């Protein structure tokens, strides 16, 4: 007989054996595999809701052919299903008894009973679960766990699990040493993910109280709500705060904490993307979801219908993920700046949430990866959304700075207005006088400006103002501060410039203005300007005797000098006299 015929005969015989006896349950050699999630090594069966099996009856049932073998690392059967029995064969092939930790890493399961059977007799029995008082549990831990000393050879582990919530049973078996290491690693992972989200939440909460924009506050509530919800369904919150609040308390706590982050998250997305402006129907639908589904969950709580409330909670979770994507798509369609990144992070987070939710509900395999995907997805989304909010904050700050800058500028000439002059000149003034340096001001008035407006029109008058502003800008140094002081008046602050130097500069500007010629239908437009100058000179305005409040005085003195120019024929430059100084200082004192 050749090899091909031998292989065919062996395959036929195996198929024949399987058809008569079914697949034999695999055994876990704990010496070779000291740590695993044992779903694929576990057979299980469910009770009829009206009859609770004893251990003996369950063992008899497992010896029949009606039980099923797990297909994934964890066994997930759905929400509000009948109690389930599990059987796992454990082999200790060493010569010594070994300590192992056996755990079911789902905190919300209500009642879990465990038996270890060795050579036909029960050598250990424990009970725990969410319905058992914390101090009565085999290990005071966030989920059901106990430690067992397995003798040499084969032992059978039997578990009975009863719960109204999602029947997700990740049966974990590991040496005590490896179990402790896993706890430490898991704590670091959760601490890292929670740390990111809490830090971002607190930062944006501070921003909310600073800028009073609702999206920052809603984002903070969204993250804080999710962290608290995650702490709840991973059993950590229940362990710290509510360990003895009775059966089903954690189930209710978990689903109502879903409401907090889901509602805050959806309203945050509405505000961030401003959907009310361009997608009012979707915006209203989002509001309705945040009202109707939570109201149904409250009704379920009032009438103690946990299954109904659980269904609505998972519906809210799914709707939340779908609406996030729809909001992002609408924003992208209407070319909202934040839409693209929002859509990327929301699709990623929604995918992770749906996978985790489906794993808990029993639709996809439940394991370490699928269970923790929701935290990973939310952390990724939190970072992306924080980046979007930071962009918005920077944009708002830039808009604010632009508005402030615009408020300090004259819209016609682009020069500083009075407010802009004060903002720019005060620091320079204080620096100059404290360092004992020269400083001067020049006040300029366009001669007979009203005649220009009356004779050629206001548009030509505006051209004259812009032409004068252009001359002043061309003649200015980087340190000079130029402002349109009012109507047809201009003011220049000249740091490190004495009055004599300022007078020479003013004369050059006067000559350049005098040469300007503008065209108009009514003929050429020529005009002149008058200049009043005041600055540091030997005497009352010595650079070593200037005071903090002398800037206003110097401007008033320059105005007095300008008045003298107008009275004596215009188109001249006049520096201040000591008499002007004394008069202006006396006016300031009064």
Q: Distance between CA atoms of 390 and 208, rounded to whole angstroms?
A: 12
- Tokens, residue 6: 């031998």
Exactly one of 488, 499, 517, 560 is catalytic; which is it? 488
Q: Distance between CA atoms of 251 and 257, rounded to whole angstroms?
A: 10
Helix, strand or coil, per DSSP, at residue 342: helix
Tell me the CA distances in angstroms from 479 to 142, 335, 370, 432, one per residue in order: 68, 43, 64, 12
- Per residue, what are the HEC states of 231-285? HHHCCHHHHHCCCCCCCCHHHHHHHHHHHHHHHHHHHHHHHHHCHHHHCHHHHHH
Q: Distance between CA atoms of 518 and 512, rounded to whole angstroms?
A: 13
Query: Each residue of 523-535: b (16+ CB within 10 Å) or e?
Result: eebebebbbbbbb
Would you mind telling me the total number of residues written for the chain in this entry?
590
Residue 25 DSSP class = P
209 by Cβ neighbours in 10 Å (0-12 / 13-18 / 19+) ranks as: exposed
Query: Rg of the chain's alpha carbons, rounded to an integer?
Result: 41
- Strand (E) or helix (H) holding 47: none
Residue 24 DSSP class = P
Residue 403 DSSP class = H
Q: Distance between CA atoms of 423 and 14, rounded to whole angstroms?
A: 93
Q: Strand 529-535 vs strand 573-575: parallel, antiparallel, or unpaired?
A: parallel
Q: Is 397 a catalytic residue?
A: no
Residues β-bridged to residue 79? 166
Q: Strand 68-69 vs strand 27-29: parallel, antiparallel, or unpaired?
A: unpaired
- Tokens, residue 253: 């706590």
Q: Which residues are catalytic?
A: 488
């Amino acid at each position: 007989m050749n090899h091909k015929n031998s292989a065919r005969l062996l395959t036929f015989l195996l198929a024949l054996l399987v058809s008569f006896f079914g697949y034999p349950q695999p055994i876990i050699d704990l010496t070779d595999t000291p740590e695993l999630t044992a779903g694929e090594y576990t057979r299980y069966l469910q009770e009829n809701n009206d009859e609770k099996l004893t251990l003996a009856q369950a063992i008899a049932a497992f010896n029949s052919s009606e039980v099923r073998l797990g297909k994934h690392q964890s066994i997930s059967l759905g929400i509000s299903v009948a109690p389930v029995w599990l059987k796992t064969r454990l082999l200790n092939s060493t010569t010594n008894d070994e300590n192992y930790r056996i755990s079911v890493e789902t905190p919300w399961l209500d009642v879990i009973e465990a038996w270890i059977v060795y050579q036909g007799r029960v050598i250990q029995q424990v009970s725990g679960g969410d319905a058992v008082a914390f101090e009565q549990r085999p290990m005071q831990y966030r989920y059901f766990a106990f430690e067992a000393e397995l003798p040499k050879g084969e032992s059978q582990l039997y578990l009975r699990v009863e719960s109204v919530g999602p029947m997700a049973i990740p049966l974990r078996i590991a040496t005590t040493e490896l179990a402790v290491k896993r706890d430490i690693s898991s704590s670091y992972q959760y601490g890292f993910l929670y740390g990111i989200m809490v830090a971002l939440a607190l930062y944006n909460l501070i921003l909310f109280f600073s800028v009073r924009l609702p999206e920052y506050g809603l984002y903070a509530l969204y993250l804080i709500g999710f962290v608290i919800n995650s702490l709840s369904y991973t059993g950590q919150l229940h362990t710290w705060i509510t360990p003895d609040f009775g059966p089903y308390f954690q189930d209710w706590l978990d689903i109502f904490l879903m409401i907090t982050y889901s509602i805050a998250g959806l309203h945050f997305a509405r505000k961030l993307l401003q959907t009310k402006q361009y997608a009012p129907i979707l915006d209203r639908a989002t509001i309705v979801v945040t009202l109707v589904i939570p109201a149904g969950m409250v009704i379920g709580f009032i009438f103690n219908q946990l299954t109904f409330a659980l269904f609505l909670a998972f519906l809210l979770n799914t709707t939340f993920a779908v609406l996030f994507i729809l909001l992002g798509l609408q924003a992208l369609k209407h070319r909202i700046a934040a839409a693209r990144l929002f859509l990327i992070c929301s699709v990623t987070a929604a995918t992770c949430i749906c996978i985790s939710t489906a794993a808990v509900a029993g639709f996809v395999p439940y394991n370490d990866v699928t269970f923790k995907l929701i935290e990973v997805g939310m952390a990724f989304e939190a970072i992306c959304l924080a980046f979007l909010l930071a962009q918005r904050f920077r944009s708002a700050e830039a808009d604010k700075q632009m508005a402030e800058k615009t408020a300090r500028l004259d819209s016609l000439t682009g020069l500083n207005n009075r407010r802009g002059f004060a903002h720019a000149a005060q620091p320079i003034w204080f620096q100059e006088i404290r360092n004992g340096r020269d400083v001067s001001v020049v006040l300029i008035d366009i001669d007979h400006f009203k005649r220009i407006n009356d004779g050629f029109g206001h548009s030509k008058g505006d051209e004259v103002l812009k032409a004068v502003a252009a001359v002043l800008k061309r003649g200015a140094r980087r340190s000079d501060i130029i402002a349109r002081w009012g109507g047809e008046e201009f003011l220049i602050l000249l740091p490190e410039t004495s009055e004599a130097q300022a007078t020479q500069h003013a004369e050059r500007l006067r000559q350049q203005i005098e040469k300007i010629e503008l065209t108009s239908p009514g003929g050429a437009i020529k005009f002149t300007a008058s200049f009043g100058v005041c600055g540091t000179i030997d005497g009352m305005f010595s650079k070593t005797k200037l005071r903090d409040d002398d800037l206003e005085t110097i401007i008033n003195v320059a105005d007095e000098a300008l008045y003298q120019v107008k009275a004596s024929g215009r188109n001249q430059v006049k520096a201040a006299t000591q008499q002007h100084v004394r008069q202006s200082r006396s006016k300031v004192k009064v």
